[in-house]
Structure 1
Amino acid sequence: MDLLSRNAPTSEGLGLSKTPLLAALAIVEFLGPCRFSHFDAFGLPVGKPVPLPVVQIGATALDQTEQTMDMIRGMLSESPAEAIYGLDIGKMIVQFKSGKPGSIKPKATAGRTNEGNRPSFCLMDECHHWVSSNGGPDFFQTLKRNIEKTTKAGSRWVSTTNAYSPNEDSVAQIIHESEMVAQGYWLYDCLEGSIALEDIRDPEAVRAALIEAYGDATWADIDGLTRTIIYDRTTPDSTYCRFFFNQIAESSDGWMSKSEWDACYSEDDPIKPGDQIAIGFDGSIRGDSTGLCGVRLRDAKLFVLGVWERPENAPDDWEVDVLAVEAAVNSAFKTYRVAWMYCDPPYWQENIGRWAIEHGDDTVFEFWTNKPTRMTQAVERFRTAAMVGDLKHDGDYRLTRHVLNAVTREVPQGLLIQKDSPRSKRKIDLAVCAVLALEARADAIADGRMQIRRSRVVGW
């Protein structure tokens, strides 16, 4: 018991009222007799309050702590504890009116300013969102290091999370894969629904897995969740596995399954010269592929205009043939009626500028894929179009390979697509091109550029 009390516990769950639990723990650590004092005459342990209770609510941004702080204020306001302990309950801090040392307050990433703090208790909520892009792993190490310096006095921390993405190296993954968990020094508790991906449309299997995953959370709408999973085709099955069944698996982040992509295949009405199209371009120089993808305006049928991939045994100085890319772009404009073109600019801004001059700056536009708000929206629209049958493709094996290689990465704005690892040879560039092409098509139509050719009937 002493070992568990002095080492970091972490738990994993979904929709199980983790935040109220954390709020209650914070209050107990702040006010309650939560440290061992002695054994009474009957041999039972007796607790004592923390002499200097410094409770921190850790997050990568202050607004992420609002829900937990709101819950703490709600539990304390107008409660007997407020009067008995003389609490000053503010929006960002709970402390003693008398000036007695101690507080509950949020803590967010702020460089080295967190180093050297001595919290007696630290909460780390939703740490599957604590990734390198927001400084999460470094922040976690700082908080943990501060706690470890006073563990002999009883300092401790707890974290909660949903199933993490194994491609993000989040704090949740770091904890789960830690040797401290494997050796039993950190308590790790997880509820996971047992269901295979191929059974995700079986109502009985889904219901059983939901009951298993939600445990004693009797407030969960199992019937409603079952209906959603069975009939909603706009959400990837991998998302259900992760956020409803709490499953952690490499395959759970595939953006598109083969069956879903194959359902979009259409061999009828092939793309022909003179068709009105939109184009998506994603360029690289050495590492990744460079791709050019088209989509017909009238029926959203995708096809590949060109792809340049690094050969298996290419020399170290291999580079994309820029002239071949230039020729493919010019050929596309000559062969088809291009209404709109979106291009990801890195490494190719000079070329894109020249294409805009040659083919019209009202036709060729930059589309920065590293802007998450815009890109997550584009990825979501593409996925939805594929699920509801508003998107087609001609079966090109190269596009299929890139689409099936793509995995999802969660950011605050939504889901992005990426390779399964930064150094992976499984390229996804044509998938990005396809997303940009479909966005270009939508904007071209919204701008009134879609032209439908009608046959002229002449009577004699």
Structure 2
Amino acid sequence: MSAATAAATEPLPVRLTLPTHVPPLTLGWEVIRWCEQWLHSPMGDGSPLEFTPEQGRFIAWWYAFELADDSKTGWRWLYRRGLLRRPKGWGKDPLAAVLALVEMLGPSRLAGLDADGKPRGEPARAPYVVVAGTAEGQTRNTTGLLDLIASPDLRRRCSLEITVSGLCRGRSMAGDAAELRPMTSAYRTAEGARPTAGIAGETQHWVPSNGGTQLDLVLRRNLTKSPGGAARLLAISNAHLPGEDSVAETWHEAWLKQQKLDTDDTGDESAGILLDTREPIIDISPEALDVADRSQMLPLLAASYGDSHWTDLDRTAEDCADPDISRAHVLRFYGNLLVAGDGAWMDPSVWEAAYRDQPIPDAGEAIAVGFDGSRNRDSTAIVGTHMATGYQWILGVWQRDYSLGEDHFWEVPADEVHDTMARIFSTWVVARCYCDPAFWTADVDTWAGRWDSVAAWWMTGEHVIRNARATTAYREALNSGDVTWGGPVADVFTDHVTNAVERPVQGARSDADRLHTIAKPGGRRSRRRIDVAIAAILSWTARGDAIAGGWTPPPRRIARSRSLTEARLEKARKEAEADTAEPTEQP
């Protein structure tokens, strides 16, 4: 960034995923000293390499370890794989190239502790490092920097040879033959190799269609073969596109699950996956952000780029204002924010902002219900909406386990679905219930005959315009804060909502009436489910129609199976009636 901009711009607050303190045991400090002695700056001016505080903290945590008597080596890494997510131009590839040389030649393994208890490093035995990508250009982003950062002293000391293709051979500091090799997505030929370290470049572009998903799995299988479990995979990426099934997205989701496990259990940093990212915290919806407005973008860019002092924020802000670049592209690649792309239906930041950690409504409260079902392909879902507040939660969900394979027969347990519907109607006052009858026509007819508030609402066929308006109204209600959500299995709710992509409604005649329904990404055979999202739309629509139809809360009734809360409310009501009754005249 320019000096003037850096001094004048107050960055937005950021959400950090890397611990702010330093680990008690790490090889990171020795790695940094080795790099500063043997490597040059990637700027190409021959000056010594210097790390920023952000880079230094990342290296410290990436090389953090713990002593372990149950390990063959007596120690183990805190993290088995890592994801470094930063905006374009932050310096991900230069840092990856530096760490690739560390793994090939430098002190990348624990040799022991000195007399003062400080870690001593040593090179890996027979080091073989792979720099992987789904295309040659991705590997070249990293390997093309090796020639700049390897100092003449390092080349002489390690007999280092670097080819134009990125292949690098030499001798480690311990004298072992060492090799660094680029690898693309021909994952079948990569099976069986035994790398001691791996770098995965631009994993936001590693998707099933280009072999990236398979390459990721092959690399991780190969690294597992390393003696003592010391071989690891470091991925670098920009912010991924939610719902695209990229490797960056699946790693992020795995990290979220491990963070939840830690929170519920030990809460320590040994989650197995290291994620380092800086996400600016913006106080408005991303959809309302004007990326062409420098006054809005400069604080955001200052936050996302952190201490990467080489970044020219003025020029970056100009690039963000280009009219042919979408807002989603700007916020992902320059703002380091996880936002929906042009095809995604729900912006993750909007969805997350609507979450509320609160109890579900008490029994006897008035709710609206939405039902969307399948029989054996993906899932069936029931969602409730509190009439008084607009709070939503999952009342029931049944999902096919795809890990059992396509040939495994599975069917939604219809008896459980019927029992759940009966429980819902016996527990809450259901103002209105909309059910998509597809695959469940006879069942919906049965429910409508049993409960007056049940009505069929087809989400397919000739009602597409009506459904598109309901879908639009639901998203607008989320943007305005009218809808909130939470409750049990909140992660399933999020998965279904963020999986959905927009499908334009044919025949919309004006920009003001540009409508969409939602669909699975990748077509009907996709494994990314959206049934909970559809049930949520139906539930919200049922609530709105009930209110528009003049619905008012009926006299409170007690459910057949009363909860403790209901019993207390009933007792309090009777006591209040007794207190207000006219006193009986005494003789």
**Shorter-chain-normalised TM-score: which range?**
0.5 to 0.7
CA contact (8 A) 2:102 2:108 kept: yes
Q: 1:118 is paired with a residue of what secondary structure?
A: coil
Report the counterpart of residue 30 of structure 1 in structure 2: 104
**Counterpart selection for 2:86 from 13, 26, 30:** 13
**Counterpart selection for 1:395 from 510, 513, 518:** 510
Kindly, what percent of the aligned residue pairs are identical?
Answer: 29
In the TM superposition, 1:254-269 aligns within 5 A as none
Q: CA deviation at 1:228?
A: 4.2
Q: Separation in 1 of the partners of 2:164 and 2:148?
A: 11
Q: CA deviation at 1:19?
A: 0.7
In the TM superposition, 1:17-166 aligns within 5 A as 17-76=91-150, 79-92=152-165, 93-96=167-170, 101-150=177-226, 152-166=228-242
Structure 2: segments with no counterpart, 5+ residues = 1-63, 66-75, 263-270, 348-435, 441-459, 462-507, 534-587
Q: CA deviation at 1:419?
A: 13
C-alpha change, 1:113 and 1:420, in structure 2 (3 Å) is closer
C-alpha change, 1:104 and 1:418, in structure 2 (3 Å) is farther
* Matched pairs, number: 293
Q: CA deviation at 1:66?
A: 1.5
Report the counterpart of residue 278 of structure 2 in structure 1: 191
Amino acid at match of 1:54: Y
Amino acid at match of 1:233: P
Q: 2:309 is paired with a residue of what secondary structure?
A: coil
Report the counterpart of residue 167 of structure 1 in structure 2: 243
Q: CA deviation at 1:137?
A: 1.1
C-alpha change, 1:111 and 1:188, in structure 2 (3 Å) is closer
Q: Separation in 2 of the partners of 1:401 and 1:117?
A: 51
Q: Separation in 1 of the partners of 2:303 and 2:181?
A: 35
C-alpha change, 1:57 and 1:250, in structure 2 (3 Å) is same
Q: Separation in 2 of the partners of 1:136 and 1:204?
A: 38
In the TM superposition, 1:193-232 aligns within 5 A as 193-195=280-282, 196-197=285-286, 198-200=288-290, 203-229=294-320, 231-232=321-322
Q: CA deviation at 1:205?
A: 3.0
Q: Separation in 2 of the partners of 1:111 and 1:223?
A: 41
Normalised by the length of structure 1, the TM-score is 0.55
| Residue deviations 1:42-99 (CA, integer Å, cap 9, x gap) | 22211111121110001112332112111112322x6111111112322331112899
CA contact (8 A) 2:242 2:344 kept: no
Q: Separation in 1 of the partners of 2:243 and 2:520?
A: 8
In the TM superposition, 1:268-347 aligns within 5 A as none
Amino acid at match of 1:107: M
CA contact (8 A) 1:11 1:189 kept: yes
CA contact (8 A) 2:77 2:230 kept: no
Q: Separation in 2 of the partners of 1:407 and 1:236?
A: 23
Q: 1:52 is paired with a residue of what secondary structure?
A: coil
CA contact (8 A) 1:239 1:253 kept: no
Q: 1:38 is paired with a residue of what secondary structure?
A: strand
Q: 2:84 is paired with a residue of what secondary structure?
A: strand
Report the counterpart of residue 328 of structure 2 in structure 1: 238
Normalised by the length of structure 2, the TM-score is 0.44
Q: Separation in 2 of the partners of 1:228 and 1:419?
A: 39
| Residue deviations 1:227-264 (CA, integer Å, cap 9, x gap) | 444x433322111111111111347755999xxxxxxx
Q: CA deviation at 1:406?
A: 9.5
C-alpha change, 1:225 and 1:396, in structure 2 (3 Å) is closer
Amino acid at match of 2:304: A
CA contact (8 A) 1:163 1:248 kept: yes
In the TM superposition, 1:416-435 aligns within 5 A as none
Q: Separation in 1 of the partners of 2:526 and 2:200?
A: 27
C-alpha change, 1:217 and 1:252, in structure 2 (3 Å) is farther
Q: CA deviation at 1:397?
A: 7.8
Q: CA deviation at 1:122?
A: 0.2
| Residue deviations 1:186-216 (CA, integer Å, cap 9, x gap) | 1111012223321335543322111100101
Structure 1: segments with no counterpart, 5+ residues = 258-311, 322-392, 410-416, 427-460
Q: Separation in 2 of the partners of 1:151 and 1:9?
A: 19
CA contact (8 A) 1:254 1:406 kept: no
Q: 1:104 is paired with a residue of what secondary structure?
A: strand
Amino acid at match of 1:209: L
| Residue deviations 1:157-191 (CA, integer Å, cap 9, x gap) | 21111110112100001100003465422111101
CA contact (8 A) 2:520 2:529 kept: no
Q: 2:182 is paired with a residue of what secondary structure?
A: strand
Q: Separation in 2 of the partners of 1:52 and 1:83?
A: 19
C-alpha change, 1:70 and 1:228, in structure 2 (3 Å) is closer
C-alpha change, 1:16 and 1:85, in structure 2 (3 Å) is same
CA contact (8 A) 1:241 1:252 kept: no
Amino acid at match of 2:336: N
Amino acid at match of 1:160: I
Q: Separation in 2 of the partners of 1:103 and 1:151?
A: 18
Q: Separation in 2 of the partners of 1:151 and 1:128?
A: 30
Amino acid at match of 1:206: M
Report the counterpart of residue 278 of structure 1 in structure 2: none
Q: 1:177 is paired with a residue of what secondary structure?
A: helix
CA contact (8 A) 1:167 1:420 kept: no
C-alpha change, 1:139 and 1:228, in structure 2 (3 Å) is closer
